[in-house]
A and B are shown apart, each in its own frame.
Chain A
Amino acid sequence: AQRVTQPEKLLSVFKGAPVELKCNYSYSGSPELFWYVQYSRQRLQLLLRHISRESIKGFTADLNKGETSFHLKKPFAQEEDSAMYYCALTGGSTDKLIFGTGTRLQVFP
């Protein structure tokens, strides 16, 4: 069964500190993995996807198939990064997009 696990409900850091939001998944196949972000009073939106191997707003995420992880990282957190972050997975022909429980990132000045 597909499952996405985000072990941290809340992550608090100070501005300029490194950030790592953890995401682990279970899927019997080759999944497509995403990070979505929800800023206060805004819609949920795509932050990045693993296949693009891109860096958005300074965030990167590497797919580790051996550890079935897709952790989100940023070397220097900014106050405007404060938001709810969701890891998500889809795969194969099912079309289902499954989300984790989310991690709230708080960046203090």
Chain B
Amino acid sequence: NAGVTQTPKFQVLKTGQSMTLQCAQDMNHNSMYWYRQDPGMGLRLIYYSASEGTTDKGEVPNGYNVSRLNKREFSLRLESAAPSQTSVYFCASNWDRGNTEAFFGQGTRLTVV
């Protein structure tokens, strides 16, 4: 089973460039999330989608946009990359609200120079 798949795994961008991180899950989950992981900061929620067609801001949404394309896919876009967005990005999904396990992708290591 694939679970949660993120692409790409690694990316280097120049300041000002744009890119989209892709995430897909095959578990029929309703909720999907994007996090960034930085040393000493832990996992911070960027955006989440409770169900198909809905998206909400998390703790650190500035500089990012998201699209819940369908139930399977949830993409994260950086319109104009900045060095402060250098991070490891994780996509996750879970079935529904409450006590349900979240499944994570393998992460995307993004460097903005």
Task: Spell out A's residues near B (CB within 8 Å).
Answer: 6, 9, 32, 34, 36, 43-46, 49, 51, 86, 88, 90, 92-102
Asked whether A94 lies within 8 Å of B104 as measured between CB atoms, the reply is no
Q: In the complex, what residues of A have CB within 8 A of residue B35's CB?
A: 99
When the two chains form the complex, which single residue of A32, A46, A88 contacts B98, counting CB atoms closer than 8 Å? A32
As a 0/1 sequence over residues 36 to 49 of chain B, the CB contacts with chain A under 8 angstroms (1 = contact) are: 00001111110010
Q: In the complex, what residues of B have CB within 8 A of residue A97's CB?
A: 33, 45, 48, 92, 94, 102
CA distance A90 to B98 in the complex (A): 6
Asked whether B42 lies within 8 Å of A96 as measured between CB atoms, the reply is no
B90 within 8 A of A: yes
- Would you list the 8 A-B pairs with minimal beta carbon distance, nearest first? A101-B42, A99-B43, A95-B50, A44-B104, A32-B99, A102-B42, A95-B97, A46-B101
CA distance A42 to B106 in the complex (A): 7
Asked whether B40 lies within 8 Å of A95 as measured between CB atoms, the reply is no
Asked whether A51 lies within 8 Å of B42 as measured between CB atoms, the reply is no
Q: In the complex, what residues of B have CB within 8 A of residue A94's CB?
A: 97
Residue among A6, A46, A86 with max Cβ neighbours from chain B (10 Å) = A46
